Structure 1
Amino acid sequence: MREFFITALIDMNACLILQDREGHYVCITTLPGHWTLKPGVLPGDTAIFGAGIGARLAELKAGLSKPGDRAELEIAAGDDTYFEFRCRLVEMGNHEVYMMTVVIDRTEDRRRERLLRALLREVSHRSKNLLAIIQSIASQTARYSGTLETFLSKFRGRLHALSQSQDLITDSSWRGAYFRDLLKQQVDRYVQENGDLVRVSGEDILLTPNASLHVGLALHELVVNAVSHGDFLARRRPIEVSCERIETGFGPQIRMTWVEPLGPLGDEALVAARTARFGSTVLERVVPSSVNGRAIHRLESDEVRYELTFSQDNEE
C-alpha cells in the first residue's frame, strides 16, 4: 500500500508530513521541488520551509489541542507560486496523537482564479459598453421616429443587428468579427434570395469588438435603406462594398465603402429620397463617433455613397 499512497500523493501534487507530539518528523513524502532539506540536517518546519514559514506554521499548530482539530494556511512562496498547508491532529491506532500536515500546490488554481476574475471584469466592462450602445440607439431612434410603430420597427432591427454582431464577437473569443461575416449577416437577412446583388471586394479584416458592433450597425442601416428606398433589386444593378487598410496622416486606418447605384432621379425625387434615407443619424453621427472615425454619406442622382474611415486598432 505504501507505493499506492505515495503515487496518489504525487498525482495530487501533494506532500504529506507526519510529526509526533514533540514536533519531530516521523514521515515526509513527495516534498515540493520548491523546498529541499540539506544533507545532515534534521527535518523540521524551519529547516525545510525557512524561518518565516516555519514561524507561521508553529503558530498555526499551537492552536490545535485535541484530535480532530484542524487549520489551514496559504503561503505565497515566491515566483508566483502558492502552497496550501492543511494541519490536523489525528489519533492513530496505538492511541498516539500525531500532527499531520498536507502541503498542496495551489499555483495553477490561483492562476485560474486570476484569469477568471479578469474575464469577469472584461465581461462586465463590455456589458456596460453594450448597454450604453443600446441606450444611445434607443435615444436616436426615438428622436427621429414619428410614431411608436416606426420606433419599434427601427429599434428592433438595430437591436437584432447588434445581437448578430455580438454573436460573431463571442464566437471569436472576444477578438472581434471579420468584415465579410458582418456584411453576410445583413445580406442574408434582408436580400437572401438576391445575395449576388451585393458584391464585396478588398480585405476580409478582423475588426475589434467595438468596431464590429458599429460597422455591423452601419451595414444594417445601409442594407435596410437600400431595400426600403432603393431600386437595385428591380434594376438588378449590384451594390459594391469594399473594405481596405489605408495609410493616413493619422496612422494605419480602415476604410469601408458602400456604393449603391440608383436609377436617374429628378430634383423632386432626389429631395424625397434624401428625406427618406437621411432621417436617421446612425450612419453620420452614431457610428463614426463611436469608432473615433469619420463618415461621408452622399446621395447623388445616380448613386448612394457611404465611406467610413477609422483607426485600425480602434477599441472602446
Structure 2
Amino acid sequence: MVHRLTWFEPQRGDDQLREFFITALMDLGASLILQDQSGRYLCITSLPPRWQLKEGIPPTDLSIFGSEIAVRLEELKAGLTSHGDRAELEVEAGDDTFFEFRCRLVEMADKKLHLITVVIDRTEDRRRERLLRALLREVSHRSKNLLAIIQSIASQTARHAGTLDMFLGKFRGRLHALSQSQDLITDSSWRGAYFRDLLKQQVDRYVQENADLVKVSGDNVLLTPNASLHIGLALHELVVNAVSHGDFLQRRIPIEVSCQRIEKPGGPEVKIVWVEPYGAREEIDSKSGRFGSTVLERVVPSSVNGVASHHLRDGEVRYELQFPLEIFD
C-alpha cells in the first residue's frame, strides 16, 4: 500500500505496524497525540515524563499540560479548519525546559478530520543555541580586544621606527608573536596558554639551535587569554632584543627565566623574571623611548594590572613583571 511517501506491505498486521511506529517515536524522543475533530483524545504515545496521565480521568490538554499551555493549544488548534492546515507552538514548560508542539489537521481513511499533535523536546536545542550565542558574543569581544592590541602595536611601532622597512620588520615580528599566542589560546578552547609554551614559541623561532641557552624554572602557570597575548608579546621583545643586541650566544652563557605563582592575601599573583647576562654590549638606557621598552614597561603591565621593572646594569639585563593571577573555574 502506498500513501504519498509511505509504503508498507498490505498483509502486515496492524499490531506490528503499531509496535513499529510507537518504538520509532520513542527512539526519536517525540510524543504523538491523535484527536478527533471535536478534540477527544484517541491515542497518546511516549508522553514526556514531566507530564503524566491521571488514572480514571479522560486525557485532555488541560488535564495533561495544565491551564497555561492548554489555553495556548486551544487557540492554536482553533485556527486549523481544513485538511493539511498546520501550526506550531513552542512553550517553556518550567525548569528551563522547552517543548515544541506541531499540530496538523488530516483527513483519515474514514474521510473524517483528525488532529495530530507531535510534541518534541527542544531543551537541548535551546541550550545549544544559547551557548552558541554566548560563544559568538565572546568571539566578538575577544576579536575587538585583539584588534585593539594590533592597533596599539602598529601605532607604537610607527612612533619609534625611523624608516618604513624598519616599521615593517618590527611590526611583522610582533604581529607573528601575537598570532602564535593566539594559536595556543585557540587550541585550549579559549582557556588561555601556559607560560612555558609561550616562551618556547619565541625560543623556537629565534634561537632554536641554541634553545639550551634559555633556561626556565618555576611554575608552568596557565594564563588567561588576555595575559597570554601580552606575556607572549613581552617574551618576543625580550628574545629579539637578546638576539639583536646581546652577546649571550657568543659567550654561551644562558638566559635564566623563571615564573612563580605567589600566594597573596588578596589572591594569587604571578612573578616573571628574565635575567640575561651581557658583557661588552653597550648599555642602552631602558627608558630611552624604544618601543621594546614601551611594551615591557607600560603596555604589558597595564594590560594585566601588574607592575614591571626593566634594567640593564651590573652585567645583566633584568626584567621583572608581577601581576594578579585570574583563577579558572
TM-score (structure 2 length as normaliser)? 0.91
Is 1:252 matched with 2:268? yes
The CA deviation at 1:262 is 0.5
1:56 corresponds in structure 2 to: 72
Contact 2:80 2:104 survives alignment (8 Å): yes
Is 1:306 matched with 2:322? no
Higher RCO (C-alpha 8 Å, min separation 6): 1
Cα separation, 1, equivalents of 2:121 and 2:79: 24
Q: Which secondary structure state, in structure 2, belongs to the residue aligned with residue 39 of structure 1?
A: coil
The CA deviation at 1:174 is 0.8
Structure 1: gaps of 5 or more residues = none
The CA deviation at 1:192 is 0.5
Call closer, same or farther: CA 1:279–1:190 in 2, change over 3 Å.
closer
1:140 corresponds in structure 2 to: 156
Cα separation, 1, equivalents of 2:325 and 2:159: 31
Cα separation, 1, equivalents of 2:42 and 2:123: 27
Q: Which secondary structure state, in structure 2, belongs to the residue aligned with residue 131 of structure 1?
A: helix
The CA deviation at 1:274 is 7.8
Alignment of 1:134-213 (within 5 A): 134-213=150-229
Residue 294 of structure 1, aligned match among 299, 304, 307? 307
Cα separation, 2, equivalents of 1:81 and 1:111: 9
1:282 corresponds in structure 2 to: 295
Cα separation, 2, equivalents of 1:293 and 1:274: 18
1:16 corresponds in structure 2 to: 32
The CA deviation at 1:279 is 5.8
The CA deviation at 1:146 is 1.0
Is 1:6 matched with 2:19? no
Cα separation, 2, equivalents of 1:248 and 1:222: 27
Call closer, same or farther: CA 1:290–1:279 in 2, change over 3 Å.
closer
Contact 1:264 1:301 survives alignment (8 Å): no
The CA deviation at 1:306 is 0.3
Cα separation, 2, equivalents of 1:152 and 1:278: 14
Instruction: State the identity %.
Output: 73
Cα separation, 2, equivalents of 1:276 and 1:208: 29
Equivalent AA in structure 1 for residue 234 of structure 2: A
Structure 2: gaps of 5 or more residues = 1-16
Call closer, same or farther: CA 1:278–1:61 in 2, change over 3 Å.
closer
User: Deviations for 1:70-115, whole angstroms, at most 9, x for unmatched residues?
Assistant: 0000010001111100000011122111011000111111111111
Cα separation, 1, equivalents of 2:269 and 2:251: 34
Cα separation, 1, equivalents of 2:193 and 2:22: 50
Call closer, same or farther: CA 1:188–1:271 in 2, change over 3 Å.
closer
Aligned residue pairs: how many? 312
RMSD over equivalenced CA pairs, Å: 1.8
Contact 1:292 1:314 survives alignment (8 Å): no
Most deviating of 75-84 and 277-286:
277-286
Contact 1:229 1:273 survives alignment (8 Å): no
Equivalent AA in structure 1 for residue 167 of structure 2: F
Equivalent AA in structure 1 for residue 232 of structure 2: G
